[in-house]
Structure 1
């Protein structure tokens, strides 16, 4: 009797593991549909300069042949309630994204409206929206409220996916906005992109400058040079956060871990692997 019972438990355990594996596989393969969906990366740019490096990394990833057909959009100035000075990204964003971005720092209401129009077009055609929060979720909350007012028939809790990797970003999102997006969007909290070996890439690397040997494209070289120049110019200045990885001459594009998760490439280990894989 004991042998039969143990055999039954073993069989049940096998089928349970098989179901979990299938569920994980389905989740990974259906996470982002490049044929219908829109990727948005929203940068707070306050007060850490890591967003500047993350913008350059996003551009490099989106120009790689593997991902060059993806529809994406960027937002600058999507900060929450934190204090401190802004890191002006406009020169870099114009260089990297042309007109494919919104400036929420200069005029948040105008930026929300601009993004709402873009997002609504994808939603009405059956696509989903994936937001990588390179900052806080206050802008996302405002965007969802604008969509609900304009198109209440859209189920934002299923159609808008928000991905956050940082505990600190959540802490400096207003309590109202954070509670709102966790109910009105499909909210994902993933492991922090500042560390390696936790299930997402670790993209904070002090002293790293080997990108120069991997990036071959002239435009991307100029974009990375601009990002590094802006980062060094504003890092720790006038009370801004002092990012030690940047101060050491290294890189920090930890927010890109969210994009990697969205696109199903979260198995990338670190900065070196990212550049050796996607540098051109």
Structure 2
């Protein structure tokens, strides 16, 4: 009898543990991708935004709910890449204030707009996956506003998934705000997307062949080509306060997109730049 009782308790504990540690998966029917780009000071966000836009054009992600935020930066110094908005983001994601917002231009308005969208998603039973392609300050401010709007903290803890790959992004967040986000959301820290020698793809490479392929007139993916033409033009024309060495040498750095790789559970489909390029950038639509 005692043995049977012990087995029941053990199985119950294991069941609870598996639920706690089971990762959430993106439901294309009802979940929201919130892509937050700091665009300050590193030009890698220009490349990451272009790469994400290529993904959104593919049948893999066709029809998903998404919204982008430009200017979701923290306490870092350096210049905001203002030439990336509005034309570039309009081309990548759709019309401003419908599919993206500029938090650099008007932070309070952006917080309110995103809060409304997130609240609607949660109320409909969906989850919100936040691609933290920058710092967590904007996420903190938006979620605090969400609580003030009546959303329960427990819902945020279980239904808002924040994905971060960069130690630098964490270091340049307001630390009080970062700790709050870590404690009040489903916070996931994955390995750095700048390195090929860990558990995420290395989406940073100085090899010029990838940009050459994207820009080639023979590239059958005309939309992707236009995205990378704009990205390349912005980066070449930008007088950076800090110059990204990969981009300066003609390579590609969309390292923040390892967060999309994790969110959409792409695994070996895009576990290298070459595979990503074949699937999303130089593919025949």
Classify the secondary structure of the residue corresponding to 2:255.
coil
Q: Deviation of residue 184 (structure 1)?
A: 1.2
Map 1:33-182; keep pairs closer than 5 Å.
33-88=27-82, 89-90=84-85, 91-99=87-95, 100-153=99-152, 155-182=155-182
Q: Deviation of residue 215 (structure 1)?
A: 4.4
Q: Which stretch of the first structure deviates more once superposed, 247-256 or 209-218?
A: 209-218
Which of these residues, 217, 220, 223, is aligned with residue 219 of structure 1? 223
The Cα RMSD (Å) is 2.1
Write out per-residue CA displacement over residues 48-70 of structure 1, whole angstroms, 9 at most, x where no aligned residue. 00000101100100110121121
Consecutive unaligned residues of structure 2, counting only runs of 5 or more, are: 1-13
Give the total of aligned pairs.
Answer: 256
Structure 2 CA distance, aligned partners of 1:85 and 1:152?
Answer: 35
Change (3 A) 1:188 1:257: same
Q: Deviation of residue 198 (structure 1)?
A: 1.0
Please say if residues 197 and 269 of structure 1, whose CA atoms lie closer than 8 Å, have aligned partners that are also in contact.
no
Q: Which stretch of the first structure deviates more once superposed, 240-249 or 124-133?
A: 240-249
Write out per-residue CA displacement over residues 3-25 of structure 1, whole angstroms, 9 at most, x where no aligned residue. xxxxxxxxxxxxxxxx9xxx69x
Change (3 A) 1:215 1:70: farther
Structure 2 CA distance, aligned partners of 1:196 and 1:36?
Answer: 32
Aligned to 1:10: none
Aligned to 1:242: 243
Runs of 4+ in 1 over 3 A off after TM superposition: 212-215
Classify the secondary structure of the residue corresponding to 2:161.
strand
Structure 1 CA distance, aligned partners of 2:33 and 2:145?
Answer: 18
Classify the secondary structure of the residue corresponding to 2:101.
strand
Change (3 A) 1:142 1:232: same
Aligned to 1:13: none
Write out per-residue CA displacement over residues 76-134 of structure 1, whole angstroms, 9 at most, x where no aligned residue. 00000001111121121011112200100001000000111111111100001000000
Write out per-residue CA displacement over residues 187-233 of structure 1, whole angstroms, 9 at most, x where no aligned residue. 00000000113111111111332334684222221111001111122
- TM-score normalized with structure 2 length: 0.85
Report whether the alignment pairs 1:255 with 2:256. yes
